[in-house]
């Protein structure tokens, strides 16, 4: 990263603003929010700054900039409309090791300002590194909707009891699990509803509880979707931030993994055709073993864990051993990849039903209900079908599917590597031999694939 994001304690610290226009006004008000002692230097200042002077909130030196004005300030902001003056300010401050910001000149500044979401004591700062302040403000505006003002009260409450929690729970993991329980339970719910008194009473009761139930482990079975990180659900993101250890599959991208809690241990347990990093029985036992140790275990699976994801097998082992678990559905590949390829799985003119099947071979054979798959006005989506593509094409035609039935292959759908090939069921094997698509590739069979050229909206890198 180009900049280190830090938060400075400016309470009662002297800060100097050179300039008296609208930019200087905004910077001065921001420094005041941080409880800094602000002095503005400029022959003229805005009415808003004059009002702050009259209220005694800032000091005003009514003069042009002079190097003698920079001495022992914590930081200096050069906010004039004269680049030469701003540069002179920076040179003087640099000689005295004082941090300086030059407005509209990130390359010449020691630090840059972020776009700030203030939920004190919770502060969120978003920066584009000076490349696009408008984009940073846009992102901050989105965060406004995700982080309601009540988080301020929640932060204050947690700060109030931080010492008591540290005294009761000697280990960091115990303290984190306690706070995770608080944040995902009735305490947070009451704070968000404006009932801080009730929330505090419940927090006190939980802190006084001698059972220390926070040692109980739990497993989160989370669907990571087909690849695009923005397709994750809010609940998936929240649980990913609570995990002590993450067991993830081959189809989970590094961008999605990066959203897990930074301190969490990452363990690869992916499987692919003819090679298993860790067998299914071992995965089941790993989830069980770590949950019994009191950990919060995240099982992160591509797509949806209950659609060809063996999620049912994994939580079955947990249920037999009375281990708490949660299941978070993800956008399955059929839905996600078809949408990004501009192929509606159902359409009033082309398909009134849709069926999902797996194309994995068992002992070299495909064992599917062929008569069901060849029904008219139906879309068939085949997961993991590359290896058996020739056999699939042959069997469908033997059971009555027209050789010219439209079909599409969608490789690595929803990602920047997405590719879409249109063909027919008869020509699919030849297409695959020629283009050599790589996994994961989804096969969609049906008249709806003809809509791709018209409805495709997603352009991959």
Active site residues: 249, 271
> Are the C-beta atoms of residues 22 and 46 closer than 8 Å to each other?
yes
The SS3 of residue 77 is: strand
**309 in a labelled binding site:** no
Would you list the DSSP string of 385-445?
-STTHHHHHHHHHHTT--TT-EEEEEESTTSTT-EEEEEETTTHHHHHHHH---SSEEEEE
User: Bridge-partner residues for 115, per DSSP?
Assistant: 126
User: Bridge-partner residues for 245, per DSSP?
Assistant: 265, 297
Give the span between the Cα atoms of 199 and 329, in whole angstroms: 30
> Are the C-beta atoms of residues 407 and 425 closer than 8 Å to each other?
yes
Strand 75-78 and strand 14-18: pairing?
A: parallel
Give the span between the Cα atoms of 193 and 185, in whole angstroms: 13
Taking the chain, what is the end-to-end CA distance rounded to the nearest angstrom?
22
> Are the C-beta atoms of residues 129 and 3 closer than 8 Å to each other?
yes
Cβ neighbors of 233 (< 8 A, separation 6 or more) are 328, 329, 330
Going from the C-alpha of 92 to that of each of 70, 117, 208, the distances in angstroms are: 7, 32, 57
**413 in a labelled binding site:** yes
User: Bridge-partner residues for 37, per DSSP?
Assistant: 14
Instruction: For residue 231, give the DSSP letter.
Output: G
**315 in a labelled binding site:** no
Cβ neighbors of 273 (< 8 A, separation 6 or more) are 360, 384, 387, 439
**332 in a labelled binding site:** yes
**359 in a labelled binding site:** no
**229 in a labelled binding site:** no
Give the span between the Cα atoms of 343 and 421, in whole angstroms: 12
Give the span between the Cα atoms of 451 and 341, in whole angstroms: 9
**314 in a labelled binding site:** no
Taking every pair of Cα atoms in the chain, the longest distance, rounded to a whole number of angstroms, is: 92
Would you list the DSSP string of 107-132?
GG-S--PPEEEEETTEEEEE--TTS-
**384 in a labelled binding site:** yes
Give the span between the Cα atoms of 295 and 242, in whole angstroms: 10
**219 in a labelled binding site:** no
**307 in a labelled binding site:** yes
**22 in a labelled binding site:** yes
Annotated binding site for S-adenosyl-L-methionine: 226, 302-304, 307, 332-333, 384, 413
Question: Which residues are documented as binding site?
Answer: 22-23, 43-44, 226, 302-304, 307, 332-333, 384, 413
Residues comprising the binding site for NAD(+)? 22-23, 43-44
């Amino acid at each position: 990263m180009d900049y280190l994001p830090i938060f400075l304690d400016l309470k009662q610290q002297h800060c100097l603003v050179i300039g008296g226009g609208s930019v200087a006004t905004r910077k001065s008000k921001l420094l005041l929010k941080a409880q800094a002692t602000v002095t503005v230097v400029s022959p003229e200042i805005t009415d808003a700054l004059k009002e702050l002077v009259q209220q005694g909130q800032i000091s005003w030196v009514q003069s042009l900039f002079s190097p003698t004005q920079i001495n022992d300030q914590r930081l200096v902001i050069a906010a004039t409309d004269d680049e030469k003056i701003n540069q002179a300010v920076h040179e003087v401050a640099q000689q005295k090791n004082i941090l300086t910001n030059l407005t509209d000149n990130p390359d010449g500044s020691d630090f840059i300002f972020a776009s700030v979401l203030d939920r004190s004591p919770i502060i969120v700062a978003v920066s584009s590194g000076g490349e696009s302040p408008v984009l940073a403000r846009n992102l901050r505006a989105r965060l406004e909707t995700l982080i309601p003002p009540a988080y301020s009260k929640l932060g204050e409450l947690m700060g109030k009891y931080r010492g008591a929690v540290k005294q009761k729970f000697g280990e960091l993991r115990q303290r984190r699990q306690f706070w995770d329980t608080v944040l995902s339970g009735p305490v947070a719910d009451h704070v968000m509803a404006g009932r801080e008194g009730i929330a505090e009473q419940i927090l006190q009761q939980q802190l006084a509880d001698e059972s220390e139930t926070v040692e109980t482990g739990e497993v989160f079975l989370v669907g990571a979707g087909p690849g695009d990180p923005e397709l994750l659900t809010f609940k998936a993101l929240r649980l990913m931030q609570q995990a002590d250890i993450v067991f993830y599959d081959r189809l989970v991208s590094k961008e999605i993994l990066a959203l897990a809690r930074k301190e969490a241990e990452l363990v690869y347990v992916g499987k692919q055709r003819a090679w298993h990093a860790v067998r299914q029985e071992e995965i089941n036992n790993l989830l069980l073993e770590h949950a019994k140790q009191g950990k919060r275990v995240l099982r992160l699976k591509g797509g949806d864990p209950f659609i060809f994801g063996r999620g049912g097998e994994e939580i079955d082992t947990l249920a037999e051993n009375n281990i708490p678990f949660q299941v978070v559905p993800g956008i399955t590949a059929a839905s996600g990849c078809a949408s990004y390829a501009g192929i509606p799985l159902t359409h009033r003119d082309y398909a009134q039903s849709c069926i999902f099947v797996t194309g994995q071979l068992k002992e070299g054979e495909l064992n599917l209900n062929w008569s069901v798959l060849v029904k008219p006005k139906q879309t068939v989506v085949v997961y993991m079908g590359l290896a058996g593509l020739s056999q699939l094409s042959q069997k469908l035609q033997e059971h009555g599917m027209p050789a010219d039935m439209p079909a599409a292959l969608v490789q690595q759908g929803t990602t920047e590597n997405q590719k879409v090939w249109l063909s027919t069921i008869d020509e699919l094997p030849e297409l695959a031999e020629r283009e050599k698509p790589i996994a994961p590739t989804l096969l969609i069979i049906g008249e709806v694939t003809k809509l791709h050229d018209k409805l495709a909206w997603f352009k991959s890198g």
